[in-house]
Structure 1
Amino acid sequence: MRLSQPTTLATFLLTSRFAAAAYTPVDTFTSTNFFSAFKFFTDPDPTNGQVTYLDLPTAATSTLIATAPQASNAIYLSLDSTTPSLPKRPSVRLNSLKTYNKGLFVLDLQHMPTGCGVWPAFWLLGTGATWPINGEIDIVEGVNNQRNNSMTLHTTAGCRIRSEGFTGHLDTADCDVNNATQGKNMGCGIRNPAAGSFGAGFNANGGGVVATEVTSQAISIWFWPRGAVPAELSPSSSSATTPDPSKWGTPVARFAGDCDIDAHFKDMQIVFDTTLCGDWAGQTWTKGECAAKAPTCEAYVKDHPEGLTEAYWLVNSVKVFEQGQGGKKVGRRERRRGL
């Protein structure tokens, strides 16, 4: 192309940059196709939780999963909250059949698991190598009666983030799971200062939307409570198929700095899981208000199923947008957090 004026060249370059950055839909997971797009993980919990993960037929028979419960269009994922005196409670963990390297991942959520002993997470997990060589991105995560969402990256050595470009609170800056100064497996973490970003407060407001953008430059996460979701992320919006993160303002978390994102995050599955106690909820039991309910987390979840009635997900949708080629099917070999 021939450009005669410098201003025309600048305009061309700017237009080209935004054209290249346009997002288009790759996958949409709703109640119509959700369970066919995910594999049920049935190995022992890598985080040592007090759960047994069920396969799809068993989970369905046990009514731990459903689509369109109570006339809604949501996906229902839960754990056992009725059987008394049960050391390990049936639960579900789902890993997407496809993997992704880059993209925009938008979760529309009505309700998340909450309660003492409960440890839910929605995350992206790198596959095909020993954890955490291909990385882990924890998007929605917390334990017990936590009120603020925790967002964390887990990597091998050589990934640190800067404390700028986001509205959240930086807890740890080194993403290396073997950083002994921070604590083993801590990774780099940013906490959402909004009390309604996790747990009971999130659910009381009817949930919200979380968007995660993964590029070669940064991993950014935005959160909007119900009632404040951008119009373009509404299912009825004409621009819902072409979301533009540049319009969303400063993200609540932005992981960028001395970190080669392309090298540390590859072939990632979308994961939902709910575990109990384990390496986080169990180890921090005595530090919060839940400690008054039982001497240990394990004792509480074993003998108090009535305390777990809010430990369920109601997922409206998960949408994936990419700038280039879509995700690929994951192979038979899967990696698990903590192994």
Structure 2
Amino acid sequence: MRSSGFLYGLTALAKAGSAAYTLSDSYPTGLDFFNKFTFYTATDPTNGYVTFVDKSTAQSGGLIAAESDGSTYIGVDKTNVASGSGRKSVRLTSTASYTHGLFILDLAHMPGSVCGTWPAFWTVGSDWPNNGEIDIIEGVNLQTNDAMTLHTSDGCSINNSGFSGSLSTSNCYVNAAGQSSNAGCGINSASSSSYGSGFNSAGGGVYAMEWTGSYIRTFFFPRGSVPSDITSGSPNPSGWGTPAALFEGNCNIDSHFGAQQIVFDITFCGDWAGSVWSSSGCTGKASTCNDFVQNNPTAFDETYWRINSLKVYKSS
């Protein structure tokens, strides 16, 4: 048997020599962006205090828009006291599905670190969790650092090495013993400019998620540190250094991750933001998460995505 050090060296060499990528799919900006997505309008599966609206309702209500600089705006109702199932918001699912690739999102703004909010940018397969879920950007309430997570069926766990963030949980199985329900395997970013208000104060930035048959990894680049090969449209992760998150270990990636669709959403309270309300630093605002979200529409002025570009690349 060869030493683990030797095998680790081979893995590192394979990553360092990974091929450059060529463009597979480029999402248009402005209102045309939404032509490549469907609007989810069913009940929130995470039990959020939210009403997901259709395209016409979102556009007439100002929840989606084309900004003057050509970027794409995705937000929530920040005018009205909420009623019914909750505050109006948008959840988008791409019409296209992808298997492996490099997903690069350039954001001018993401939902800020605001009590009651739970935004996410992620990918998901059919028959959840059997075809996996990859959470690229996610957080709740006053969170400052991005939470990157995989959710899978049984038999997938990751190593605590090869990334700059900090491991929160190592078993990707949604019902893993000894972990909270649906915790998955999680890595928290080391950067306080990777999520929410800190991200916006720093001028935004770029997220890149690389998915291969051997590993899944996520990179975060603040606005002033985006690699030139990304801006030139010829991305090559081999020159990007240590990723924010590396999901690799005792896990056959291809058996746990099938074709994925891209999702943007903003929900409120629910299974995560609501369940940690009492420990989130938000309890001084209202006794419950739902109560705060319902009655304070102007609190969500910063709860929006502003997308400069979204591109998907395939290995060349």
Taking structure 1 as the reference length, the TM-score comes to 0.86
Q: Which runs of 5+ in 2 are unaligned?
A: 1-12
Could you say which residue in structure 1 is the equivalent of 2:102? 104
Could you say which residue in structure 2 is the equivalent of 1:120? 119
1:64-92 CA-partner distances (Å, limit 9, x unpaired) = 0012x2x2221100111110253511110
- Secondary structure class of the residue paired with 1:190: strand
For 1:292 and 1:168, the matched residues in 2 are separated by 30
Give, as a single letter, the amino acid of the residue that structure 2 aligns with 1:309.
D
Aligned 8 A contact 2:90 2:265 in 1: yes
1:61 to partner: Cα distance: 1.1
For 1:171 and 1:148, the matched residues in 2 are separated by 12
Could you say which residue in structure 2 is the equivalent of 1:25? 23
Could you say which residue in structure 2 is the equivalent of 1:172? 169
Could you say which residue in structure 2 is the equivalent of 1:217? 214
1:177-223 CA-partner distances (Å, limit 9, x unpaired) = 00131111000000001111101010111110000000011101000
1:37 to partner: Cα distance: 0.7
Could you say which residue in structure 1 is the equivalent of 2:250? 258
Look at both structures and tell me which one has the larger radius of gyration over its CA atoms: 1
For 1:171 and 1:296, the matched residues in 2 are separated by 26
Aligned 8 A contact 2:150 2:184 in 1: yes
Aligned 8 A contact 1:30 1:74 in 2: no
For 1:244 and 1:267, the matched residues in 2 are separated by 22
Give, as a single letter, the amino acid of the residue that structure 1 aligns with 2:20.
A
- Secondary structure class of the residue paired with 2:290: helix
For 2:198 and 2:215, the matched residues in 1 are separated by 29
Q: CA RMSD in A?
A: 1.6
Answer yes or no: is 1:158 the counterpart of 2:155: yes
Aligned 8 A contact 1:30 1:75 in 2: no
Could you say which residue in structure 2 is the equivalent of 1:247? 239
For 2:74 and 2:119, the matched residues in 1 are separated by 11
For 1:291 and 1:180, the matched residues in 2 are separated by 30
Could you say which residue in structure 2 is the equivalent of 1:206? 203
Q: How does 1:1-339 map to 2 (within 5 A)?
A: 21-31=19-29, 33-67=32-66, 69=67, 71-86=68-83, 88-114=86-112, 115-127=114-126, 129=127, 131-234=128-231, 237=232, 240=233, 242-323=234-315
1:12-58 CA-partner distances (Å, limit 9, x unpaired) = xx9xx96x823110011131531111111111100011111111111
Give, as a single letter, the amino acid of the residue that structure 1 aligns with 2:207.
V
- Secondary structure class of the residue paired with 2:282: helix
Could you say which residue in structure 1 is the equivalent of 2:10? none
- Secondary structure class of the residue paired with 2:242: coil
Aligned residues: 300
Aligned 8 A contact 2:193 2:222 in 1: yes
Give, as a single letter, the amino acid of the residue that structure 1 aligns with 2:90.
V
1:323 to partner: Cα distance: 2.0
Aligned 8 A contact 1:110 1:208 in 2: yes
Aligned 8 A contact 1:25 1:320 in 2: yes
For 2:82 and 2:59, the matched residues in 1 are separated by 22
1:218-243 CA-partner distances (Å, limit 9, x unpaired) = 10100011111111212xx2xx1x21
- Secondary structure class of the residue paired with 2:267: strand
For 1:139 and 1:78, the matched residues in 2 are separated by 19
Give, as a single letter, the amino acid of the residue that structure 1 aligns with 2:178.
T
Aligned 8 A contact 2:82 2:88 in 1: no
- Secondary structure class of the residue paired with 2:135: strand
Give, as a single letter, the amino acid of the residue that structure 2 aligns with 1:205.
A
Give, as a single letter, the amino acid of the residue that structure 2 aligns with 1:254.
L
Could you say which residue in structure 1 is the equivalent of 2:3? none
